[in-house]
Structure 1
Amino acid sequence: MDKFSFLNAAHTAYFAELYDQYLQYPDSVEPSWRAFFQGFDFGMENASNGQAVFEHPQNGDAVEIPEPVIKEFQVVKLIEGYRTRGHLFTRTNPVRARRKYSPTLDIQNFGLGQSDLDTTFNAGEILGIGPATLKEIIVHLEKVYCDSIGIEYMYIRKPEEIQWIQNKLNINENQPKFDAEQKKHILKKLNEAVSFENFLHTKYVGQKRFSLEGGESLIPALDALIEKAADLGVKDFVMGMAHRGRLSTLTNIFGKSAKDIFSEFDGKDYEQDIFDGDVKYHLGWTSCRKTDHGKEININIAPNPSHLETVGAVVEGIARGKQDRHYKENIQNVLPIIVHGDAAISGQGLVYEIVQMAQLDGYKTGGTVHIVVNNQVGFTTNYLDGRSSTYCTDVAKVTLSPVLHVNADDAEAVVHAVLFALDFRMTFGRDVFIDLLGYRKYGHNEGDEPRFTQPKLYKAISSHKNPRDIYAEKLKEQGIIGEDHVAKLEEEYKAKLEENLEDSRKEETTRITPFMQDEWEGFEHVDETRMMEDVDTTVPMEMLTEVADVITKLPEDKKFLRKIQKLIDQRHKMFFENNSLDWAMAELLAYGTLLKEGYFVRMSGQDVERGTFSHRHAVVKVEDSEEEVVLLNHIKGSEGDFQIYNSLLSEYGVVGFDYGYAMASPKSLTIWEAQFGDFSNGAQIMIDQYISAAEDKWKLQNGLVMLLPHGYEGQGAEHSSARMERYLQLCAKDNMFVADVTTPANMFHLLRRQMKVNYRKPLIVFTPKSLLRHPKVVSTKEEFANGTFQPLLDDETASVEKVTSLVFCTGKFYYDLLERREEENREDVALVRIEQLFPLPTEQIKKVMEKYTNADDIVWAQEEPRNMGAYSHLLLHFEESKNFRVCSRKFYGSPAAGSSVRFKKRHERVIASVFDKSSDSPL
């Protein structure tokens, strides 16, 4: 009997569902049916007179499919067309006609015609509306896929997610269904958005405010998102957004007093003089809000610079920090929200880095709600010149995240879309994007003339009603509000603003509330004097021994690579037999003792688990299973936990993330390590805008540690210099620590100092490469237990009376000079190491200079070219250094030679010059 003879029976509903399943997930269909549908598709492409004839998939005989079945399949294809391409034919653009896309969704393109409109098709079952006429099916599809909300989701590869979305769409036809009170509340928030901008426009004429006008529906959307999320259990919101609409968001969502914003418009100085402040639309804010249902929630909007999208990485890090510290059991209690601009999300590569973090163990945050305030113009650049992709949100497809495109003039659709997005995030813990398609009423800022570059667009915008008035007319037609309802709302709201304005003008200064102050109780802001004070970083020998015992023994019931077993055994001997500890032991013992004392440690970066130079091995793998063993997490009685993650191949995004993490978790030693030091160049915006300047701009403390491998070993231009000159140029007053340490003990105490003080400053450490295994780069366990960090290391072997050349240097170059001094038996040369470059230990340097009374030759020696390294920094911060004899390479554009032969010649010349008093020019 022919396997497909029953096609003549009336089972078209089953066939339609099976065919729909095949179109969406071909591999999920039983093989013979898959072959049948493949043959059908081929047959339909070559069909005539509406009949499909094709070879039997098993025996090669001709199979003719009855016309009713063909029609059902064609309706299924129509449904599939709406699902995959319906978003291209929506009414989502409030001020421009949409671009034309081909082919359209006309029924003729699916083998259907006018005569089929009144025919009932069982394919309606797929949509949840039961058997329905083609006309009814099309009406349903138009409502779901082509109204004010267009949705992209068919590229998702998880059937359960697609099914969830389709069920959600089918249940309510993707149409908002709010009661009268909910609609009034949406109108109220819309009024606040519109009235706030109108008020500023009249009171502060021509001042920059980066108005939200044209995208005011963002305010009711954020309000609804926060309210509903709180009902679903979210307790902490972390938001990042650039300047457009930020002031309205601060006032109408975060509860920042309009009085403070007016003071900022008036340009008043700050009450405290310990920081410089920033423009009003960059400032952060934290507040506790009570929802309409009485839930207490914490909401944070992170401070941001003008570098668009930078704050997104910081937000993700803050969210992860809060999750790790407070919500380990339910990370979805923290919700990251990032508000983008359309030109920025499609133009900034950082967005891709952040999106790629979304599902990675070290960086995931349980899903982020991304909202794009789509102005359709980037400053003066039209979207057709701003991206190659169809949509600005196409980066969402990297992680197969759904995207909802929404008409910003349709306030209810906007709120509906946001709530849909929230449900998806809370259900699947994944990112979701909302493209809020509106416009920008004025130019990039309020003093700009947009008609210069978009005359037609701005002619349309000038006569276009705002979203509040559009929505108010709709509610009047529905009989929900009266004629004077909006006028009363506006009058009441503006009266409050007038009161705030009057109050602001009574005060001479303005104040700033520190961001996330709840996380920073007990921490102080300190100056350079406090930074130079000695800190007790000692450790009881018993604790040190306990930690060492754990990290130098592998589990006996597991098999490890012979090299790993040997390495761990060597570490055991280092501590318990030889008392000669190397760099890796310094790091691991610092982490372990901090864990015992209740601190947390997080490290990330490219290949940090093993270490780029194979020195750390904080994570070891079982040979057969590749099971990961982290010995630091086996320390008994440890109150903290140790997290270490190999990062994606990103610097900008990951440094931003870890900076945010450190901001949210001041009791965590948060470390980012570069693969090679100057790879941090990729994160320069984070270094310039946050790491070096955040305390001055935003009164923010942060204890992020950056480990940057540095040292000239003939590996070429990109593998030698960590560009220390760039960090040192950014140093000012008390903004960070910069160190270039040369002993394991000093590294141990430096890392511990970072946590043992009651303040936080970023710490930049130029770490070694060749010194990781250098036989002289060792310390004793007594130096670990009883010592302290030493900003300067004097030459303990030098005879003061014999020294005539006093050489100051830093980092790995010291060992090169020491080797030469020993070779030549030069007792007349003292080598003094400056271990902390900022704050520079000037008093200690002076004391050393006074100590060597016979030294008539004082030298600054560096392996870097003269225009790089620490020399210019020394000139700026230590006046006496202008009289030093300088030994360095000459001025170069490149940090180092690419030829190892050339490198050795240059390096040798610099070393020789140190020991030759007559040499005083760059080499």
Structure 2
Amino acid sequence: FVGQKRFSLEGGESVIPLLDAVLSEAARADLDEVCIGMPHRGRLNVLANIAGKSYGQIFREFEGTQDPKSVQGSGDVKYHLGTEGTFTAETGEQTRVYLAANPSHLEAVNPVLEGVVRAKQDRLNRGSAFFSVLPVLMHGDAAFAGQGVVAETLNLSQLRGYRTGGTVHVIINNQVGFTTAPASSRSSVYCTDVARMIQAPIFHVNGDDPEACVRVARLAFEFRMAFDKDVVIDMVCYRRRGHNEGDDPSMTQPLMYNLIEAKRSVRKLYTEGLIGRGDISVEDAERALRDYQEQLERVFAETREATDTPQTPTGDVTAGLDLPLAQQQAAANQHAAPRATAVDPAVLKRIGDAHVSPPPGFVVHPKLMPMLEKRAAMSTEGAVDWGYGEVLAFGSLLLEGTSIRMAGQDSRRGTFVQRHAVLTDKLTGTEWTPLANLAEEQGKFWIYDSLLSEYAAMGFEYGYSVERPDALVLWEAQFGDFGNGAQTIVDEFISSSEQKWGQRSSVVLLLPHGFEGQGPDHSSGRIERYLQMCAENNITVSMPSTPASHFHLLRRQAYAQPRRPLVVFTPKSMLRLKTAQSAVEDFTTGGFRTVIPEGPSLRSSDVDRVLLCSGKVYWDLLAERTKRGDTRTAIVRLEQLYPLDAAAVLDAVDRFPNAQLVWVQEEPANQGPWPFIALNLPEHLGGRPLMRVSRPASASPAAGSSKKHAAEQASLVQQSFDR
């Protein structure tokens, strides 16, 4: 396959017997599964020799037999796709093996794989005494030292919300990163020094000695099983080719590649050693090599013959792969009927009662007891605020048997002191989680305060959600502004994994958003960036305006098929806004409405302007309209920004055929929903022009001065009504 990239393992071949030893030990120890996350270097070799992918499948991918008119996705290069298979040890024991799909963004798969493993372990529910799913992460030397997500993921390893019982890290140490020498790529002596932060043992081993690599692999596995902690193998080797097969490394590393050109391969060195020891004869070695080459030639010829035969297009980006079980389940369930999201009033009461039923002797903080009593009252009397509306969504799902996992910075209490999912005894420090104590038979409820990270923390929850289609999985930013610390996860996994790899996720991102005078870093979740990535129904983007709307949205997400990620821009000041509270009936009837039209009180003939908006700004507009006694202005809310329900918007504005249409937002003109709305909505409005009221275009999301913010906010609200 002349000119094709394969990112060969030549020079580092010993990693295959090393991995074989780890998986063989795992099979003998009766582990349920070994999950591997790795970059492109040597991936095809691992697919064939460890994950059980046939040579024919690999050859077919190089032939490019995938239908270019594929309707199920655009696909990805062959060394990025994931698979699942069975590994059989030489002695006959077996274990499942999972190879995670990954992008070219080095080390990005690390937290994702850990999330996948934790989800598998939670599903098996064997407890912390036996972590029966083993994560194996493979790295390059330059990436292990250079990519910050490596340190973030190592920091996850012993945390209660993230631990997986220890990861075996294998570094293919080529002593070069693309064209960059170690002296230019790290300040530490060893590329592995970052792992010393968690006191992980580090084994340095010669890649030219396969038997030493196998011994180290067994030792590393034993350490992991004994101590449930990470362990690192630094296999020092070289890269015979360039970064890829079309690259000439002698241009930048001439001395190194003079040595490599003169060096005999690992296979030749080991064969000579075996013959010298008398373990095999020259004839044995030649026969083994000849048999293997004949096997490859035979499969290659069969592949070429099959390629000459017209293929039936599958339209599937993952054709020929044994998909991971979770992906198979997601594909099988994608046409399931939607579930009702309204619940019985008794469900709300049960959740409320649980909040005023602490364990015997538990001393609730005096500031929190009134809040718990208020929640119990809300369950029957209404005036439900945002924090409790979300709790009701979680509680109702748990009572239906759906498990929930949520993590984020300060998520147990809530950044804005709104959630209080876990309460702490004022005297003893013991914890009580009301949602975990609703009924004998209920879903599991896990909520964790995450490490101070976005990249690894979001990646972990994405991986968890991929593997747990039966659970609602949420990641919450402390402020939506900080979500961009995980931009790689959003770009490479959340927005595009289904299109590239056929890998579905229903992870929920909760991004607090709202302009309230807190400055440029505490105002914007960057709605415009998420909407820019929207296409082909890849994700759902919402900005609910009431607790009940948020409730129905979360419940819809838990059961929605096909599974898609959900991005919710959640409020801050609106959390306790009395006018935004919801009645009990809003939870026991109806469902999530993508668009909320103007109520019946306004006469169509009187209305000469319709304001379209989303989120908190609705309540500012409503307050201004009430203050003015305005009966000429209607307000329509878009609770869901993508997929854009243009038909519902049209229905809402058609009631006022003579009115001017105006989009109103708090964000600057070049940010927020407007760039997306301006591009996508007008074509559905029957030729009616759509005007805009917003802050002026700005390089920064928001003003640093609270006085300037207040003036800007007053101005845009006034512009919305002034004729």
Q: Same fold (TM over 0.5)?
A: yes
Q: Which of 21, 33, 46 in structure 2 is aligned with 1:249?
A: 46
- Structure 2 partner of 1:908: 714
- Structure 2 partner of 1:162: none
Secondary structure of the residue that 2:79 maps to in structure 1? helix
Please tell me the residue identity of whatever aligns with 1:698. Answer: W
Instruction: Write the distance in 1 (CA, Å) between the matches of 2:220 and 2:323.
Output: 26
- Is residue 715 of structure 1 aligned with residue 518 of structure 2? yes
- Structure 2 partner of 1:439: 238
Cα drift, residue 540 of structure 1: 2.5
- Is residue 811 of structure 1 aligned with residue 615 of structure 2? yes
- Is residue 234 of structure 1 aligned with residue 40 of structure 2? no
Cα drift, residue 535 of structure 1: 4.7
Cα drift, residue 521 of structure 1: 4.6
Please tell me the residue identity of whatever aligns with 1:421. Answer: A
- Structure 2 partner of 1:351: 150
CA, structure 1 residues 869+525, in 2 after alignment: closer, same or farther (shift >3 Å)? farther
Instruction: Write the distance in 2 (CA, Å) between the matches of 1:756 and 1:372.
Output: 40
- Structure 2 partner of 1:367: 166
Please tell me the residue identity of whatever aligns with 1:246. Answer: R
- Is residue 298 of structure 1 aligned with residue 104 of structure 2? no
Please tell me the residue identity of whatever aligns with 1:312. Answer: N
Please tell me the residue identity of whatever aligns with 2:236. Answer: L
Q: Percent identity?
A: 43
- Structure 2 partner of 1:616: 419
Cα-to-partner distance string for 1:121-144 (whole Å, 9 max, x where unaligned):
xxxxxxxxxxxxxxxxxxxxxxxx
Q: Which of 681, 686, 695 in structure 1 is aligned with 2:498?
A: 695
- Structure 2 partner of 1:264: 61
Whether contact under 8 Å (1:809, 1:834) holds in the other structure is: yes
CA, structure 1 residues 328+852, in 2 after alignment: closer, same or farther (shift >3 Å)? farther
- Structure 2 partner of 1:669: 472
- Structure 2 partner of 1:35: none
- Structure 2 partner of 1:29: none
Cα-to-partner distance string for 1:292-340 (whole Å, 9 max, x where unaligned):
3333421111011010000011110000000111143254210000000
- Is residue 487 of structure 1 aligned with residue 303 of structure 2? no
Gaps spanning 5+ residues in structure 2: where?
Answer: none
Instruction: Write the distance in 2 (CA, Å) between the matches of 1:645 and 1:759.
Output: 27
Please tell me the residue identity of whatever aligns with 1:295. Answer: E
Instruction: Write the distance in 2 (CA, Å) between the matches of 1:753 and 1:808.
Output: 24
Q: Which of 689, 694, 698 in structure 2 is aligned with 1:883?
A: 689
Instruction: Write the distance in 2 (CA, Å) between the matches of 1:499 and 1:647.
Output: 52
- Structure 2 partner of 1:177: none
More helix by share: 1
- Is residue 822 of structure 1 aligned with residue 626 of structure 2? yes
Please give the residue correspondences for 1:152-163 in structure 2 after superposition, counting only pairs within 5 Å.
Answer: none
Whether contact under 8 Å (2:57, 2:320) holds in the other structure is: no
Instruction: Write the distance in 2 (CA, Å) between the matches of 1:212 and 1:389.
Output: 25
CA, structure 1 residues 375+502, in 2 after alignment: closer, same or farther (shift >3 Å)? same
Secondary structure of the residue that 1:281 maps to in structure 2? coil
- Structure 2 partner of 1:843: 647
Please give the residue correspondences for 1:597-636 in structure 2 after superposition, counting only pairs within 5 Å.
Answer: 597-636=400-439
Q: Which segment is superposed worse, 580-589 or 397-406?
A: 580-589
Please tell me the residue identity of whatever aligns with 2:53. Answer: K
Q: Which of 102, 120, 141 in structure 2 is aligned with 1:322?
A: 120
Q: Which of 593, 606, 617 in structure 2 is aligned with 1:790?
A: 593
Instruction: Write the distance in 2 (CA, Å) between the matches of 1:270 and 1:405.
Output: 45
Please tell me the residue identity of whatever aligns with 2:87. Answer: R
Cα drift, residue 499 of structure 1: 2.5
Please tell me the residue identity of whatever aligns with 2:113. Answer: V
Instruction: Write the distance in 2 (CA, Å) between the matches of 1:526 and 1:321.
Output: 19
Q: Which of 212, 216, 235 in structure 1 is aligned with 2:9?
A: 212
Cα-to-partner distance string for 1:553-606 (whole Å, 9 max, x where unaligned):
433521121111111111112123x32211111111111111111111000010
Cα-to-partner distance string for 1:694-719 (whole Å, 9 max, x where unaligned):
00000011010000001100000010
Whether contact under 8 Å (1:407, 1:438) holds in the other structure is: yes
CA, structure 1 residues 800+553, in 2 after alignment: closer, same or farther (shift >3 Å)? farther
Cα drift, residue 757 of structure 1: 2.5
Secondary structure of the residue that 2:563 maps to in structure 1? coil
- Is residue 581 of structure 1 aligned with residue 384 of structure 2? yes
CA, structure 1 residues 614+670, in 2 after alignment: closer, same or farther (shift >3 Å)? same
CA, structure 1 residues 458+522, in 2 after alignment: closer, same or farther (shift >3 Å)? closer
Per the normalisation by structure 2, the TM-score is 0.95
Please tell me the residue identity of whatever aligns with 1:285. Answer: T
- Structure 2 partner of 1:523: 330
CA, structure 1 residues 806+593, in 2 after alignment: closer, same or farther (shift >3 Å)? same
Cα-to-partner distance string for 1:42-76 (whole Å, 9 max, x where unaligned):
xxxxxxxxxxxxxxxxxxxxxxxxxxxxxxxxxxx
Please give the residue correspondences for 1:391-790 in structure 2 after superposition, counting only pairs within 5 Å.
Answer: 391-505=190-304, 506-507=306-307, 508=311, 512=319, 516-524=323-331, 535-576=339-380, 578-790=381-593
Cα-to-partner distance string for 1:238-267 (whole Å, 9 max, x where unaligned):
110000000111011111122221222222
Cα drift, residue 879 of structure 1: 2.9
Whether contact under 8 Å (1:553, 1:569) holds in the other structure is: no
CA, structure 1 residues 514+770, in 2 after alignment: closer, same or farther (shift >3 Å)? farther
Gaps spanning 5+ residues in structure 1: where?
Answer: 1-203, 918-923
Instruction: Write the distance in 1 (CA, Å) between the matches of 2:81 and 2:327.
Output: 18
Cα drift, residue 418 of structure 1: 0.7
- Is residue 285 of structure 1 aligned with residue 91 of structure 2? no
Cα drift, residue 850 of structure 1: 1.1
Please tell me the residue identity of whatever aligns with 2:639. Answer: E
- Structure 2 partner of 1:276: 74
Whether contact under 8 Å (2:26, 2:34) holds in the other structure is: no
Please tell me the residue identity of whatever aligns with 2:35. Answer: V
Cα drift, residue 608 of structure 1: 0.1
Secondary structure of the residue that 2:580 maps to in structure 1? coil
CA, structure 1 residues 702+270, in 2 after alignment: closer, same or farther (shift >3 Å)? farther
Instruction: Write the distance in 2 (CA, Å) between the matches of 1:514 and 1:781.
Output: 49
Please tell me the residue identity of whatever aligns with 2:238. Answer: Y
**Number of aligned pairs?**
709
Cα drift, residue 659 of structure 1: 0.5
Rg comparison, structure with higher value = 1
Please tell me the residue identity of whatever aligns with 1:769. Answer: K
Secondary structure of the residue that 1:572 maps to in structure 2? helix
- Structure 2 partner of 1:69: none
Instruction: Write the distance in 2 (CA, Å) between the matches of 1:648 and 1:499.
Output: 52
Cα drift, residue 520 of structure 1: 4.3
Cα drift, residue 228 of structure 1: 0.9
Secondary structure of the residue that 1:672 maps to in structure 2? strand
Please tell me the residue identity of whatever aligns with 1:816. Answer: D
Cα drift, residue 516 of structure 1: 5.0
Whether contact under 8 Å (2:98, 2:324) holds in the other structure is: no
Whether contact under 8 Å (1:270, 1:512) holds in the other structure is: no
Whether contact under 8 Å (1:749, 1:789) holds in the other structure is: yes
Secondary structure of the residue that 1:888 maps to in structure 2? strand
Cα drift, residue 534 of structure 1: 6.5
Whether contact under 8 Å (1:302, 1:515) holds in the other structure is: no
Cα drift, residue 234 of structure 1: 1.2
Please tell me the residue identity of whatever aligns with 2:319. Answer: I
- Structure 2 partner of 1:175: none
What CA RMSD, in Å, does the superposition of the two structures yield over aligned residues? Answer: 1.8
